[in-house]
Structure 1
Amino acid sequence: MDEHTAAKRDAARAALAERDAVLVAFSGGVDSSVVAALAHDALGEAAVACTAKSETLPDAELDDARRVAEEIGIRHETVEFSELDDPEFVKNDGERCYHCRTMRLGAMYDHARSLDIDTVCDGTNASDPGEGHRPGLRAVAELDVLSPLLAHDVSKEEVRDIAREYGLSVADKPAMACLSSRIPTGLEVTEERLTRVERAESLLRQWGFEQFRVRDHDGLARIEVGEDELDRALDPEFVAAARDHCEAVGFDHVTLDLHGYATGSVSPASDADTEPEADDAPECDDSVSEVTNVFETEYPTR
């Protein structure tokens, strides 16, 4: 780590040390993990990491959050709520992430108050504000959340450098958007759609893919994997497994996007998101539209 990054890290940690206690909105992704590590260094037992559990959070991500909190040594708690209780979220328009983050951070503040903690922190970093359509950041500002990485100009790459210094296993973890980001804009978010996406993506985890999405086009599963993993996705054994598994969890057809994984891959140009980390959930501004204009290979289910 260079001296410039180290100075930013020290400034962020010193700012956290000025607080009596903090609750960190914690996804287990690299940004919120670095904030949790800094807070734990600065405040010890007065720092708490908190993960919001809802239908849009994959169980595997919650397990990862618990594991990373243990790595850091920070106290970890969960709160539960349902985005599906809010019709504005369910309708899945361009403001979905605003409604989601407002609810999540509201749950964080409620839990913080129950612990007599006044400050809620998140992992927004200095690279986030300039990256496309980011309605979730408006909620962060409106709720007066403390963003120490943003306040001290720590970029995404510098966040990863700090994570490596702490020896965090998530230092190079790819972004993982919340499950609702797999549903095209304008198509309602339902528990059925969220569940089949999560179950479909479990197969890609089992096969060892690192960067992936299963987009739910109302019954058609569109699989995206990182460009360097496309060859593996074309393996006949994986093709057969993906076809059978996706059929079993409720999809009618399965396609592989030959463009590979891309954030907001088919969002309207004016609403293209660049997939930030949601801090109290996986990265969430990775929306998709109802129409795709990419070449796809389709494997019909049996």
Structure 2
Amino acid sequence: MATQTDPEPVAEDATGKAAAVRDSLSECDGVLVAFSGGVDSSVVAALAHEALGDDAVACTAKSETLPAAELDDARRVAAEIGIRHEIVEFSELDNPDFVENDGDRCYHCRTMRLGRMYEAARELGIGTVCDGTNASDPGEGHRPGLRAVEELDVRSPLLEAGIGKEEVREIADAFDLSVADKPSMACLSSRIPTGLEVTTERLSRVEKAERVLREWGFSQFRVRDHDGLARIEIASEELEAALNHDFAVAVREHLADLGFEHVTLDLHGYQTGSVSPSDGGDEAEGDSEASGSDDDEPLVEDVFSAEYPTASE
């Protein structure tokens, strides 16, 4: 009499999950990966390239909200992986709902961005579009961009395999990817408080302001644009360096030249989503870091309207 054999145990470690993603992708005729060059989309691209070779394509959407430095990084990481890299262009500013910058800004952005990915996939004869959403993302607060992923039927291989953020970095390290420890980088529009219109001028001055901080050696930071006031957030472990007098003088002068009337350093340090709705966080470029995996923070719109306590006389 035949005995029932136990099913093969499901691999729970990151290596086993990565193998499951690779096997799943190998069943596709071709895959286009929405590629920001962040750690999540880079892992998907590396696994897709390993599974499909030349039938895997990484695609980066260039727009006003993508810093030039991030586009350069995407090119570099795609070359590092060895995957074919395509760049398409579009403008979120063509959509008045995005420009309005309400609580669904990321939904409008992601819908346009992924729609452009599907156009590119059709042109290349590819039927499957993937993104870098990982298993940690759905529980990260207000994430309207994920709604666009679901509506457009984009595959999220990391999410499907139950691969969370820490495991993504572990897999990236196993592939020896240079972005394994790259900090999260949400799109430039996330620096503009909800309710304040997204404009080319604001996006440009934020990008140039953050370039100044990058040149000074900071790695995790944001420059929030409060309609003329620049609020600089720097990670707590780097905050002491930001108190350097020479840096303070230089950053004030540079940001004043960019059109900021006031320049401040937020002593709370870097806080994700600190200009987004109270149940929200930054979202980024077709990627979870680039979809931002950013936590809930209080709404900060007009810092001048706040009532501050004063010492009694």
| Cα drift, residue 267 of structure 1 | 3.7
Q: Which runs of 5 or more residues in structure 2 are unaligned?
A: 1-10, 309-313
Tell me which amino acid in the other structure corresponds to 1:273: G
| Count of residue correspondences | 293
Residue matched to 2:42: 33
Q: Which residue matches 2:59?
A: 50
Q: CA deviation at 1:4?
A: 1.6
Q: Distance in 2 between matches of 1:35 and 1:69?
A: 11
| C-alpha distance in structure 2 between counterparts of 1:84 and 1:282, whole Å | 18
Distance 1:103 1:175 in 2: 21
Quickly say closer, same or farther: Cα 1:280–1:172, change in 2 above 3 A. Answer: closer
| In 2: Cα distance, 1:91 partner to 1:231 partner | 36
Question: 1:102: which partner in 2?
Answer: 111
CA distance in 2, matches of 1:36, 1:252: 42
The letter of the residue matching 1:203 is: V
Query: Is the CA contact 1:58–1:179 (under 8 Å) kept in the aligned structure 2?
Result: yes
| Structure-2 change in CA distance of 1:249 and 1:233 (3 Å) | same
SS in structure 1 at match of 2:73? helix
Counterparts of 2:72 and 2:285, CA distance in 1: 17
**d(CA) in 1 for partners of 2:119, 2:22:** 24
Equivalence for 1:290: 301
Residue 265 of structure 1 deviates from its aligned partner by 2.1
Offset, 1:282: 3.2
Aligned in 2, Cα 1:212/1:254: closer, same or farther, shift over 3 Å? same
Question: Quick one: structure 1 residues 257 and 91, their matched pair in 2 at CA, closer, same or farther if it must change by over 3 Å?
Answer: same
Matched, 1:135 2:165: no
Q: 1:82 to 1:64 in 2, by over 3 A?
A: same
**Is 1:244–2:276 an aligned residue pair?**
no
2:253 is matched by which residue type in structure 1?
Answer: D
Distance in 1 (alpha carbons) for counterparts of 2:284 and 2:67: 17
Q: How far is the alpha carbon of 1:248 from its aligned partner?
A: 1.1
Tell me the CA shift for residue 275 of structure 1: 4.5
Q: d(CA) in 2 for partners of 1:294 and 1:230?
A: 26
Structure-to-structure mapping, 1:3-42, within 5 angstroms: 4-42=13-51
- Tell me which structure has the larger Cα radius of gyration: 2
Does residue 223 of structure 2 align to residue 235 of structure 1?
no
Match of residue 163 from structure 1: 172
Aligned residues with identical type, % of pairs: 70
| TM-score for the superposition, normalised by structure 2 | 0.89
Q: CA deviation at 1:28?
A: 0.3
**Helix, strand or coil: the match of 2:185?**
coil
Q: 1:283 to 1:244 in 2, by over 3 A?
A: farther
Gaps of 5+ in 1: 296-302
- 1:69-114: CA deviations, max 9, x gaps? 0110001110000000000000000000000000000000001100
Residues 1:82 and 2:82 aligned together: no
User: Does structure 1 conserve the Cα–Cα contact (< 8 Å) formed by 2:194 and 2:277?
Assistant: no
Partner residue of 1:272?
A: 280
Tell me, in whole angstroms, the C-alpha distance in 1 between the residues paired with 2:85 and 2:288.
12
Aligned to 1:242, the other structure's residue is in SS state helix
Alignment-mate amino acid for residue 290 of structure 1: E
Contact residue 20 and residue 46 of structure 1 kept, 8 A: yes
> Could you state the TM-score of these two structures normalised by the residue count of structure 1?
0.93
The CA distance in 2 between the partners of 1:254 and 1:141, in whole Å, is 40
Structure 1 residue 125 corresponds to structure 2 residue 134: yes
3-state SS of 2:256 partner: helix
Matches of 1:168 and 1:247, distance apart in 2: 37
- 1:196 to 2:211 alignment: no
| Structure 1 residue 277: Cα displacement | 5.8
For residues 195 and 284 of structure 1, what CA distance do their matches in structure 2 show?
20
Deviations 1:132-185, CA, capped at 9 Å, x for gaps:
000000000000001000001001000000000000010010001100000000
Aligned CA-pair RMSD: 2.0
Question: How far is the alpha carbon of 1:264 from its aligned partner?
Answer: 1.1
CA contact (8 A) 1:264 1:273 kept: yes
Equivalent pair of 1:181/1:284 in contact (CA under 8 Å) = no
